[in-house]
Amino acid sequence: MSTRRFSAAVGGVAVILVLSACGTGGSVVGKSADQTNGRKIFQTTCAGCHILAAAGSQGTFGPNLDAAFAEARSEGYKESAILDIIHDQIKFPGQYPVRTNDPDFLKANMPANLVTGQDAIDVAAYVAANAGVQGFAQAAAVSGTNGKQIFLTKCGGCHTLKAAGTTGTTGPNLDLLSPPFPRVKKQVINGGSIMPAFKGVLNDAQINAVAKYVADHAGK
Ligand code: HEC
Ligand code: HEC
C-alpha cells in the first residue's frame, strides 16, 4: 500500500489530494484494456468534470488530471500504479474532504461507479496512458542548477537519455541525436511544435546547466 499527497487545483482552488493505490478495488494491472473504448468513455462520462489534454477536455469540477498525474510521474510513479489509482478512484471516490461552504475545499465528491467492469478498466487504462504525459514539463518546479536533476524533472518524461536512465518517447531519443550544446540550448529556450518552451520556466543558469548535461552525456 502506498499513499502520497499531491496538490492539484480544483476550480482554480488549490487543494491537497491523496493519490492512493491501496488495492481496495483489486489490481487490474495486466488485464487487457481497450483504450479506444476508454477514450470514448472518457469523452462521454469524465470530460465534463476533468481537464485532460489528450482528450481536449476542459472540465474543472474535479482536479486537472494532467497536473495530478504529471506530478505523480515526476515522483517516479509507474503507469501500472497510476492505472490502479484511477481504477480505485472510479470505485471508491470521495477520499477528499468536502466542505460546501468553504471556497478552499471541494464542493462535492466524484460519484462512485460511473462506469464498471471492463469499461472501468478501459477508461482507467486510457487515462493512465495519457494523463500528465504532455503536462509533465509544466507541473514540477525545479530549484538549483544540477543539470541531471533538471533533466529528470523537466525532460525525461519525453526523452530517452541513457545517462539519466529515462525512457520517454514523445520526443527524439537524445542518445541517437547527440545534439551539441548550442542546439540543445536553443531548443530548450524556444521549444518545438510539441516540446514546450522553457524560457521563463527555467532561468538562464538552469537552461545552460541542462543543455550542457545533455550535450555532455547524449550518446555516451
Ligand atoms: C461530476 C464530476 C465528475 C465526473 C463525471 C468524474 N469525476 Fe473524477 N473527480 C471528481 C472530483 C470532484 C474529484 C476529487 C474528489 C473525489 O475524489 O471525490 C475527482 C477525482 C478524480 C481522480 C483523482 C485525481 C486526483 O488528483 O487524486 C481521478 C483519477 C478521476 N477523478 C478520474 C475520473 C474518471 C476516469 C472519470 C470518468 C469515468 C471521472 N473522474 C468522472 C469529479 C468528477
Ligand atoms: C512534452 C514533451 C517534451 C519535453 C518535456 C521536452 N521535450 Fe525536447 N522534444 C520534444 C519533441 C516532441 C521534440 C521534437 C521537436 C518538436 O516537435 O517539439 C523535441 C526535441 C528536442 C531536441 C532536439 C532539437 C533538434 O534540434 O532537433 C532536444 C535537444 C530536446 N528536445 C531537449 C530537451 C530538453 C533538454 C528538455 C528539458 C528541458 C526537453 N527536451 C523537454 C518533446 C519534449
Where are the chain's structural domains? 2-136, 141-217
CATH code 1.10.760.10 for 2-136: yes
135-170 tens-digit pLDDT: 554 445 577 899 998 898 788 877 899 999 888 777
Where does residue 16 fall: left (phi above 0), alpha (psi -120 to 50 degrees), or beta otherwise? beta
Please check whether the two domains, 2-136 and 141-217, share a CATH topology. yes
Give pLDDT tens digits for 190-205.
988 777 788 877 899 9
16, 39, 49, best to mutate for ligand 1 pocket (most atoms within 8 Å of CB): 49
Confirm or reject: Cβ of 193 under 6 Å from ligand 2: yes
- Ligand 2 touching residue 149 (CB < 6 A): no
CATH domain 141-217 topology: Cytochrome Bc1 Complex; Chain D, domain 2 (1.10.760)
3-state class percentages of the chain: helix first, strand second, coil last, to nearest 5 = 45, 15, 45
Count H helices, E strands: the chain? 9, 6
User: Please, are residues 177 and 218 in contact by the beta-carbon 8 Å criterion?
Assistant: yes
At 90-137, the pLDDT tens digits run 998 876 666 666 666 666 778 899 999 999 999 999 999 999 886 554
- Which residue carries 468513455 as its cell? 41
